[in-house]
Amino acid sequence: MGDLLLVRHGETEWSVSGQHTSWTDLPLTQHGEEQAKSLAPLLSGRTFSLALTSPLGRAIRTAELAGITGASTDPDLHEWDYGAYEGVTTVEIHRTRPDWYLWTDGVPPGPEGHPGESPEDVGRRADLVLARVDTALPDGDVVLVAHAHFLRVLTARRLGLAPADGRLFQLATGTASRLSTEHGRPVLAEWNTRV
């Protein structure tokens, strides 16, 4: 049985400024590219039975720079749809909604095609990805390259927790994490690892 490796894409301008970024396809900053390249030693020497990335350029570029070959894009790995809060910081949201918390309140609808998602919506997508992961893990390690909030929800679901429990797993840019098993049950083995 292989391990599930989770890679958060490298830094972007909005990850630095704290703006919610889902469908806005920003490139990596120079530092983000360096972060992605630095992941290569953590991933080298592993044979992946499945490698998937979000369809967004920042995730695809991170996978390339980290040396992940043969990855396919999977639309279910897309970041949480932030609806009307796309490009808005939590500080700005708190000016009008001081008690707002993404993990319990979700987001209001945004422009057409971006209705926003609740933790449960993201959890359903994470469960679809995990079903694909489960079919590949018997053949080796699996790597997913995606986004912070989505990977946090996916981690919660893998560990048998509710989607909103993703709030417990802070995830930095340009890091790799590893979910493994102990006595046949999913466990968190490494988190936010950098070289």
Which residues participate in catalysis according to the annotation?
Answer: 9, 79
Q: Is 58 annotated as a binding residue?
A: yes
Cα dihedral 51, 121, 83, 31 sign? negative
41 φ/ψ angles, rounded to the nearest 5 degrees: -65, -30
Q: Which residue has the tokens 């989607």?
A: 163
Strand order from edge to edge, sheet including 4-8: 72-73, 48-53, 141-146, 4-8, 176-182, 185-193
Cα separation, 105 vs 84, whole angstroms: 13
